[in-house]
């Protein structure tokens, strides 16, 4: 598990391109046959991915000083690859493309598999410290729930915003949030931009009560996203390519514009789960 420390806004405004990327960009997440994890001291979030070509068990590693990964943690995931299976304490969940899961505190044995090893699942992971055990849930964009541990995303949690004229026509799908899938602090979802739109959020914002990590994907090889960060009057940018993630401290804006449309997964942890609790920044105030 890679460890990264927190960063002060006073220091970040002096960083060059290489230092910004070293501190905040997460590359090479999806490695066939491996689990890769990055532990950030910013709200203790863990960002990672599992690409099973054979069953892989998620372990705590020496860094967590725990007997098992979810001994003191909760875990959210979204599969951006081919169909897979996640086993939690012996119970198997079939996780299709863009299905998600919430795995609660106290879950001991977590194993990732692909339905077809030659076409592996790509499980993108966010994890936060937890203080209470909430039920494990399989989360689907569409369909019907055939058991109590399957959740279909509610219509009110599929939000269409923006317009083509403003280049930000997008659909926000909220997976893990109060009232749908309960968690201690983790909130997670996926936003898809419509063709012709490139801005993932505009005007941008900060939220002091929680940090955020973005995973950008469905970006063609010859395309890119410019991720904007930093204080509103000290903006910086990071060029990002397909299936790369970026850490956003609570004091930083987090917005992106692409050379074409794309999809991104957002995960937030902190003391506040209210999705709309954010501090907007006017376009004319950005520097």
Residues 25-80: pLDDT tens digits? Answer: 999 999 999 999 999 999 999 999 999 999 999 999 999 999 999 999 999 999 99
Render the burial of 184-212: b for 16+ CB within 10 Å, e for the rest: bbbbbbbbbbeeebbbbbbebebbeebbb
- Residue 36: other Cβ atoms inside 10 A: 18
287 residues of the chain, pLDDT tens digit each: 999 999 999 999 999 999 999 999 999 999 999 999 999 999 999 999 999 999 999 999 999 999 999 999 999 999 999 999 999 999 999 999 999 999 999 999 999 999 999 999 999 999 999 999 999 999 999 988 889 999 999 999 999 999 999 999 999 999 999 999 999 999 999 999 999 999 998 888 898 889 999 999 999 999 999 999 999 999 999 999 999 999 999 999 999 999 999 999 999 999 888 878 888 889 899 99
What is d(CA 86, CA 103) in angstroms, rounded to the nearest whole number?
Answer: 10
The token pair at 286 is: 């950005």
The residues spanned by each domain of the chain are 2-285
Residues 6 or more apart from 147 whose CB is under 8 A from it?
none
Report how far apart, in Å, the C-alpha atoms of 238 and of each of 18, 23, 216 are.
10, 11, 12
In 168-223, beta strands by DSSP E: 170-176, 187-193, 205-206, 210-217
Please state, for a pLDDT cut of 90, what percent of the chain lies above it.
91
- pTM of the predicted protein model: 0.96
Residues 6 or more apart from 57 whose CB is under 8 A from it?
109, 110, 111, 112
The token pair at 181 is: 């899938």
Q: 282: exposed, middle or buried (C-beta count within 10 Å: 0-12, 13-18, 19+)?
A: exposed
The angle at the Cα of 48, spanning 45 to 49, to the nearest 5 degrees, equals 155
Fold classification of 2-285 is Jelly Rolls (2.60.120)
Region of 13 on the Ramachandran plot (φ > 0 left; ψ -120 to 50 alpha; else beta) = alpha
């Amino acid at each position: 598990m890679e460890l990264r420390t927190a960063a002060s806004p006073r220091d970040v405004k002096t960083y060059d391109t290489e230092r910004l990327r070293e501190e905040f960009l997460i590359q090479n997440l999806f490695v066939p046959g491996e689990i890769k994890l990055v532990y950030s001291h910013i709200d203790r979030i863990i960002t990672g991915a599992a690409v099973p070509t054979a069953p892989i068990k998620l372990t705590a590693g020496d860094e967590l000083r725990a007997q098992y990964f979810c001994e003191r943690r909760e875990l959210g995931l979204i599969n951006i690859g081919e169909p897979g299976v996640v086993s939690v304490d012996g119970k198997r969940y079939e996780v299709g493309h863009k299905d998600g899961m919430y795995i609660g505190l106290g879950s001991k044995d977590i194993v990732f598999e692909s339905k077809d090893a030659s076409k592996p699942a790509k499980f993108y992971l966010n994890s936060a410290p937890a203080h209470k055990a909430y039920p494990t849930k399989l989360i689907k964009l569409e369909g019907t729930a055939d058991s109590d541990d399957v959740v279909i995303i509610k219509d009110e949690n599929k939000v269409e915003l923006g317009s083509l004229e403003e280049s930000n026509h997008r659909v926000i799908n909220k997976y893990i949030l109060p009232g749908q899938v309960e968690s201690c602090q983790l909130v997670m979802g996926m936003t898809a931009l419509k063709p012709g739109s490139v801005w993932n959020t505009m005007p941008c914002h900060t939220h002091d009560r929680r940090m955020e990590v973005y995973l950008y994907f469905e970006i063609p090889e010859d395309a890119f996203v410019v991720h904007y960060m930093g204080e509103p009057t000290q903006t910086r940018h990071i060029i990002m390519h397909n299936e790369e993630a970026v850490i956003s401290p609570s004091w930083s804006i987090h917005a992106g514009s692409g050379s074409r449309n794309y999809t991104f997964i957002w995960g937030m942890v902190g003391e506040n789960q209210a999705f709309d609790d954010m501090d907007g920044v006017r376009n004319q105030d950005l520097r």
